[in-house]
Structure 1
Amino acid sequence: MSNPSTTPMPATLADLVHRLDQARLTGTREEGEEVGTVSTRRYTDPAHWQQEQASLFGQWPIVAAHSSELSKESALPFDALGVPIVLTRAADGRARAFLNVCRHRGMTLVRAGGPEPAKAKPCKALVCPYHAWTYELDGRLRHRLHAQTFEGFDPATLNLVELPCDEAGGLIFVKRTRGEAFSAAAFLQGLDAHLHWMGLPGMTVFRKVDRVYAANWKLTVDAFLEGYHIRVLHRETIYPFFADAYTVNLHAGPHQDSLVARRAAFEAFSPPPDRYALCKLATPTQLVFPNTFLIWHPDYVSLIGMFSPAVDQVRWVHTMLIPPDRTGEDWNAHWEKTFQLIEQTVFQQEDIATAVAIQRGLTSGANTDFHLGRLEHGVLRFHRGIDDAIGGTLVPAGGGACSG
């Protein structure tokens, strides 16, 4: 893990800080160059949803877990992309992904084990609970019960089906479609340097929720791409800590990295030497296209995956990440209270409840388009990115063509 107190701030992040300082000094908000509209069919049309599933969730690297969730010699089931996947980390330390399906008769190899979010299971091999076919954590078939009764079947052709998987910046990425390997660092297009400087690889999980709500997934993404709503929607919760719609934004390919100014930035501003100082001035917020957010609160991080099980549903997976030096019983009460505030109050009762209400309103036909102003330019850019990905003109950096 990079030490944020001794490693120089990446130049692109330092430029964001400088731009925030200039906005503060001049009293000028950064705005987009144009207004625009977003068709409401994007949130209701099953055909458009199918295109997103095929082009985005089927072809792009998707964040499946934080690195700390997958220790050596463990396996973590992951099904948020609509297919059964298992992540493994063998003794060599490499994160891998496979279809979570036995090659004998198709049984699930690693089950989540209840309604709570799945956790990694310590193991040295994957053993099918149906007939005990056994696989190494690198996917190779190790053992078949009564192997002599399977004459004519080449065991080398019965390894687990591997999926493209890579790790960078403290995040494990996977593609749900078989194909060539890709580089997660190249895919992030420079954001991995920001994540390392801020210490993301060294964070650890405190709490995780995994729930489905009645709203299209893009409605929750939209909310996190503009600060225009904070003054109104969050006026009783977090707005007292934030300036009104002062946000600066960096484009890293289709990804977005923003600093949302806090009121403290207008009281005293000096170049932040580390993550903690930066998060007193602003809330860094990264969109890892297409569906993952990192929101840096003053002393912890929200890692949020917004998945799409149906055209009118979002699967909200929120992982609270905390510094490794602030763990243990002495800290549990603090983190529990903090998590309940951000998840149950700000996210569930305000952001998600708004998305659900908008989805209901779409059925009325009152709007055929949403009208976005220059303070909402990040939302327009996100939707154009989706169009370009569906149309094939935007492809993920880092290689890894899929085989279908």
Structure 2
Amino acid sequence: MTDLTLDTAPPPPALADLMARLDRSCRTGTRELGAETGSVPASHYTDRVHWQNEQDSLFAHWPIVAAHSAEVAPGSALPFDALGVPIVVTRSIEGRARAFFNVCRHRGMALVTTKGSAPPKATPCKALVCPYHGWTYELDGRLRHRLHAETFDGIDPATLNLVELPCDEAGGLIFVKRTPGPPFSAATFLQGLDAHLQWLGLADMKVFRKVDHVYRANWKLTADAFLEGYHIRVLHRDTIYPFFADAMAVNLRAGPHQDSLVARRTALEGFEPPRDRSALCKVATPTQFLFPNSFLIWHPDYVSLIGMFSPAPDEVRWVHTMLIPPDRTGDDWHAHWEKTFNLIEKTVFQQEDIATAVGIQKGLLSGANTGLVAGRLESDVLRFHRGVDAAIGGTLKPAGD
């Protein structure tokens, strides 16, 4: 395995405690189980009214991961439309990330457009120029230039700056809210997990590949799969299960978020407290769930950043970004990362996890099940759905607002 060591500082106390709990579970052979069993109504995956409530209350007002920090270099702009509205994320030369509706204030044209079906990439630019009439905006959203400005009598240019959206950055991730409003703190929103991401070195990682596909399954079905390890032994029997212990994991709950360590087989006889990311990833797979729809999965030598978006009740927009160590980006590493990416994305994710979600969606339409049952190894699935319901009902709000 490649050496991922970037930081030998002690892990944050909460992460160190998580490591100790996993070591104790592995040494004693005792699984940490949830405190409850239950079920999720089938209608939560199929009902259009429930889906619309998620759009209006959850995706419209919660901070959502729009990109890894490395995707938006200083002096560039990245289009982002996975939340159902056109958004552009910019970064000034000074380094500040901002987000705006990707909409010219003149006639509504998109300022930054994408070509082809490949996931969008940030475009180096000094300003945002509308391709329709040439109206030009600074990267901070201010209107700089209007062609034939003298013909717009009585229209105050100060009212024609881009419409800004709440945006902040922490731990190597850029968060955006879909609805205009006051600023928020991404670090506060993460409720301590930003320290974990900093220790793991997320901000230093670089993008190798990104895929953006839509599949016929409700977005929560793919989220469910990443919130429990009960299925690994069977579904992933021939791919990744040979590397993992059977349903052995520990979880840290940080508000609606979660940080988990999933034990690899190398951890079953116990281990010394890992002093760096490389040592930790040899005995466990750290996985962060950032409510409501983002996951970070730390494989032994790379990271999967996954966003699960919801274009329709029976569709998930799957955005998977493969992040690699900064010292492994040369041409001599390309073949290795290409092979690795194909294994995880095309085999494990597409042929196993996503295919299962698509199959479940079809099964739900049969009416055979009024709900999907979850046992004590799947209690975080129940917790996730309670969080979605609480956000819809207004009783759960993002920290940092």
TM-score (ref. length: structure 1): 0.98
Q: Distance in 2 between matches of 1:25 and 1:243?
A: 12
Q: Cα offset for 1:14?
A: 0.4
- Contact 2:23–2:270 (CA<8 Å) still a contact in 1? no
The one of 386, 389, 392 aligned to 1:387: 389
Matched, 1:142 2:144: yes
The one of 277, 280, 289 aligned to 1:278: 280
Matches within 5 A, 1:3-402: 4-267=6-269, 269-399=271-401
Q: Cα offset for 1:268?
A: 5.1
Q: Distance in 2 between matches of 1:164 and 1:94?
A: 13
Query: C-alpha deviations, 1:76-129, integer Å up to 9, x for none?
Result: 000000000000001121000000000000001000122100000000000000
Counterpart AA for 1:330: D
Q: Cα offset for 1:6?
A: 2.5
Computed over aligned residues only, the root mean square deviation of the Cα atoms, in angstroms, reads 1.0
Q: Distance in 1 between matches of 2:73 and 2:8?
A: 27
Counterpart AA for 1:376: E
Unaligned runs of 5+ in 2: none
Q: Distance in 1 between matches of 2:103 and 2:274?
A: 48
Q: Cα offset for 1:4?
A: 4.4
Q: Distance in 1 between matches of 2:269 and 2:252?
A: 24
Q: Distance in 2 between matches of 1:156 and 1:22?
A: 61
Query: C-alpha deviations, 1:213-246, integer Å up to 9, x for none?
Result: 0000000000000000000000000000000000
Counterpart AA for 2:244: F
- Contact 2:27–2:270 (CA<8 Å) still a contact in 1? no
Q: Distance in 2 between matches of 1:117 and 1:198?
A: 26
Q: Distance in 2 between matches of 1:267 and 1:381?
A: 31
Q: Distance in 1 between matches of 2:40 and 2:270?
A: 38
Identity of aligned residues (%): 76
Q: Give the aligned length.
A: 398
Task: Show structure 1 runs of 4+ deviating over 3 A.
Answer: none
Q: Distance in 2 between matches of 1:49 and 1:328?
A: 43
Counterpart AA for 1:345: T
Unaligned runs of 5+ in 1: 400-404
- Contact 2:105–2:161 (CA<8 Å) still a contact in 1? yes
- Contact 2:248–2:263 (CA<8 Å) still a contact in 1? yes
Q: Cα offset for 1:206?
A: 0.1
Query: C-alpha deviations, 1:128-185, integer Å up to 9, x for none?
Result: 0000000000000000001111111100000000000000000000000000000000
Q: Secondary structure at the match of 2:336?
A: helix
Q: Secondary structure at the match of 2:242?
A: helix
Residue in structure 2 matched with residue 402 of structure 1 by the alignment: none
Q: Distance in 1 between matches of 2:95 and 2:76?
A: 10
- Contact 2:294–2:307 (CA<8 Å) still a contact in 1? yes
- Contact 2:171–2:198 (CA<8 Å) still a contact in 1? yes
Assess, with a 3 A threshold, how the Cα gap between structure 1 residues 268 and 18 changes in structure 2: closer, same or farther.
Answer: closer
Q: Secondary structure at the match of 1:63?
A: strand
Q: Secondary structure at the match of 2:292?
A: coil
Q: Distance in 1 between matches of 2:38 and 2:270?
A: 36
Q: Distance in 2 between matches of 1:240 and 1:293?
A: 22
Q: Distance in 1 between matches of 2:101 and 2:290?
A: 23
Q: Secondary structure at the match of 2:353?
A: helix
TM-score (ref. length: structure 2): 0.98
Q: Distance in 1 between matches of 2:284 and 2:243?
A: 10
Q: Distance in 2 between matches of 1:132 and 1:371?
A: 56
Counterpart AA for 2:245: A
Q: Cα offset for 1:205?
A: 0.1
Q: Distance in 2 between matches of 1:79 and 1:371?
A: 34
Q: Distance in 2 between matches of 1:397 and 1:271?
A: 31
Q: Cα offset for 1:267?
A: 4.0
Q: Cα offset for 1:5?
A: 2.9
Q: Distance in 1 between matches of 2:342 and 2:28?
A: 37
